[in-house]
Structure 1
Amino acid sequence: MGSIRTRLGRARRAAVHRIAVPLRARLLRSVFLPLRGRRSARVLYAAVLDGQTMNLHAELPAAARAADGAELLLGRGRSPHRSPARVHTDRSGRVLVDAAVLLGAGTGGVPVRTGATRLRLSVRTGRRTRSYPLLLVEGPHTYRGTTRPMAASPISGDRYRIGRSLTGSARLRHAPARPGAEVVDVHIEHARIDVRLRLVGLPAEDPWCEFVASGRRIPCALTETEPGVWRAEAPLAGMYPLSGRREHWDVLLHSGERRPHRVARLLHDLSDPQRVLAMRPVVVAPRKDALMSVEPRYTPAGNLRFTCRRVEETA
């Protein structure tokens, strides 16, 4: 019953989204753009492509066409963070501003509070300085292909995206990292599987791993090989299929009293990690007179999985 309610709730939200988004875009173009266009800088492009660097491209209003300098302001109050921006004129005479800002204290960038952060441009014309809000009319760009913008920082896992207020003002939205275990490396040797991983968004409270198949579990201790990187080793002999059918092994991380997390590739820019990150199967002899094929791969959700099947020897 709960799953049915969840699906109905998602369907209702999707229906509201399909109606609200075009309506909001028309409202911005017909009402707020004419009202605010002369007093705002219009955003032509804004995105966080690599998960931690905000790129901004905007057009200044006619009142600022003589501008000779600009800064991007992040935050409210008297002491917002100031980042340098470049002012230039294109062939059609538009005065444009470009800025790139590294985000997140953990990456050596600008510390950003959780939630929405106000964005403005401080424009200098001679000795005069004026602040302009950034008007975001167009919605986010749709990316198609094998890659897309990073949904989270590859270092901290924090999530940044460009949003807008009800009246169209650009906002930088920040959410903390989702807890998880990120794959660093995978090695298959003759007798064992070696998985390197790091914890994202959760502390290391006596962490340990287990390889899990249908009805079978192999607990594994974790060893910290370098700061923040842990290694789990599983014996291949324990993963040999008990029947003629192949078996799928997932890797779970346990830390403290929290629920286990699947070890996965979470911090990437791939649209289809299962296809792009495909790995070749390896044939090993985990037991005497027994061959086994081990295929490491990623599920459509990015979870790490090992498919094991028996290999019959031929004459």
Structure 2
Amino acid sequence: MKRRPLRAVRRRVRRAGTRVRSVLLRRVFLPWREDRAAVLRYAAVLDGQTVNLHARMPDWVPADEHARLELRRGGRRHTAEARVYHDHDGSVLMDAAVLLGREVGGLPLNSGRWKIRLKAKKGLRRRALSLLLLDMPRPYAGPTRPMEASAVTGARYRLGRTVTGSARVTCSPAPPSVEVVRVQTSHSGVDITFRVVGGRPEAPWAEFVASGRRLEAEVTELDDGLWQVFAPLHLMVPRRDRPEQWDVVLCSDNLRDLRLGRRLHDVRNPKRVFAMREATVTPVGRTPMLVLPRYTPAGNFRIQCSPMAEAA
């Protein structure tokens, strides 16, 4: 009971600190730095792993300079191409798209906060400009949302800013998770193919869990980092005249238990978008039943088994 008031106090302190930093940023640091830095008009991490930037350059920066973005953390530095050009009204702008992640051919950022600067040169003259982030990226409405992590690696890249307004990227490693790749339903069963992100399971097995019931199933390793499990439907027949919901959990000797699901996507309602058809399945030695593989609103994979009598 003592933790709840403490958490509420921490939230209030964080909100107060955010307000103070915002006031200092807009009233002190931005007016002081705006004429000496590039001001970002647009900044977002698209597809979970590509940083897209569009900035207005100071008036004294010419448009024909060779420019590169530099991401720096401690003694480590990585660079990427940037384009500086004239807009139709004569102002100088900068565009850049930076792919992140060694596995996808992008910049190999490790965990931590990386400051972003623009390096420009013309002849022997070199310049270094900070990128000011006035407004944090805002989520948009619609059936999709910004990708929160890379769909390939599961790593998370978030845009942020320092106290003085300089843009930076925070890189976080992928937490262990299990992503469903393919579900095949036949008249005899349900075949589930999945991949493990953020770790490699040792001696894995699967458990199908319903209210008061838990069934173990063998897991088979395939090529390209994929795994497969076959649902033991002959043991999942409902015991009552109502549907039973079965969650699928991957267990192993080295990772915590992980529920199968789909989370590395940009849809707001996976239950509706990734909907699958209900099928009549006849397990060996059992009566037919209705089987509906589906996803919960949170993205967890679930198999609904219903008796035929109820469906009729």
1:262 to 259, 264, 267: 259
Residue 203 of structure 1 pairs with residue 210 of structure 2: no
Distance in 2 between the 1:38 and 1:314 partners?
69
Task: Tell me the CA shift for residue 184 of structure 1.
Answer: 0.5
Which residue does 1:294 correspond to in 2?
Answer: 291
Instruction: Give 3-state SS (helix, strand or coil) of 2:256's partner.
Output: coil
Q: CA RMSD in A?
A: 2.2
Residue 32 of structure 1 pairs with residue 23 of structure 2: no
CA gap 1:79/1:234 in 2 versus in 1, 3 angstroms = closer
Task: Tell me the CA shift for residue 142 of structure 1.
Answer: 2.1
Distance in 1 between the 2:35 and 2:187 partners?
69
Which residue does 1:271 correspond to in 2?
Answer: 268
Task: Tell me the CA shift for residue 251 of structure 1.
Answer: 0.3
Tell me which moved more, 272-281 or 42-51.
272-281
Aligned length: 312
CA gap 1:76/1:253 in 2 versus in 1, 3 angstroms = closer
CA gap 1:209/1:314 in 2 versus in 1, 3 angstroms = closer
Task: Tell me the CA shift for residue 289 of structure 1.
Answer: 7.2
Task: Tell me the CA shift for residue 221 of structure 1.
Answer: 1.2
Distance in 2 between the 1:157 and 1:166 partners?
28
Residue 285 of structure 1 pairs with residue 282 of structure 2: yes
Which residue does 2:305 correspond to in 1?
Answer: 308
Per-residue CA deviations over 1:277-312 (Å, capped at 9, x if unaligned) read 222211222266733111111112110011111012
Distance in 2 between the 1:308 and 1:9 partners?
43
Matching residue's letter, 1:208: W
Residue 132 of structure 1 pairs with residue 129 of structure 2: yes
Which residue does 1:111 correspond to in 2?
Answer: 108
Instruction: Give 3-state SS (helix, strand or coil) of 2:230's partner.
Output: strand
Matching residue's letter, 1:260: D
- Whether the 8 Å CA contact 2:145–2:268 is kept in 1: the answer is yes
- Whether the 8 Å CA contact 2:177–2:197 is kept in 1: the answer is yes
Task: Tell me the CA shift for residue 68 of structure 1.
Answer: 2.3
Residue 141 of structure 1 pairs with residue 141 of structure 2: no
1:173 to 154, 170, 175: 170
Residue 45 of structure 1 pairs with residue 18 of structure 2: no
1:224 to 211, 214, 221: 221
CA gap 1:230/1:79 in 2 versus in 1, 3 angstroms = closer
Distance in 2 between the 1:220 and 1:120 partners?
52
Identity %: 49
Task: Tell me the CA shift for residue 272 of structure 1.
Answer: 1.8
Instruction: Give 3-state SS (helix, strand or coil) of 1:33's partner.
Output: helix
Instruction: Give 3-state SS (helix, strand or coil) of 1:80's partner.
Output: strand
Q: Give TM-score, length-normalised by structure 1.
A: 0.91
Task: Tell me the CA shift for residue 50 of structure 1.
Answer: 0.5
- Whether the 8 Å CA contact 1:176–1:201 is kept in 2: the answer is yes
Structure 2 residue runs of 5 or longer lacking an equivalent are none
Tell me which moved more, 305-314 or 218-227.
305-314
- Whether the 8 Å CA contact 2:139–2:146 is kept in 1: the answer is no
Residue 190 of structure 1 pairs with residue 187 of structure 2: yes
Matching residue's letter, 1:110: L
CA gap 1:45/1:313 in 2 versus in 1, 3 angstroms = closer
Instruction: Give 3-state SS (helix, strand or coil) of 2:60's partner.
Output: helix
- Whether the 8 Å CA contact 1:296–1:306 is kept in 2: the answer is yes
Task: Tell me the CA shift for residue 168 of structure 1.
Answer: 0.8
Distance in 1 between the 2:261 and 2:192 partners?
11
Distance in 2 between the 1:192 and 1:289 partners?
12
Distance in 2 between the 1:128 and 1:173 partners?
31
Per-residue CA deviations over 1:58-93 (Å, capped at 9, x if unaligned) read 111122135422111111567722211111111222
Structure 1 residue runs of 5 or longer lacking an equivalent are none
Matching residue's letter, 2:50: T
2:96 to 95, 99, 102: 99
- Whether the 8 Å CA contact 2:73–2:113 is kept in 1: the answer is no
Which residue does 1:239 correspond to in 2?
Answer: 236
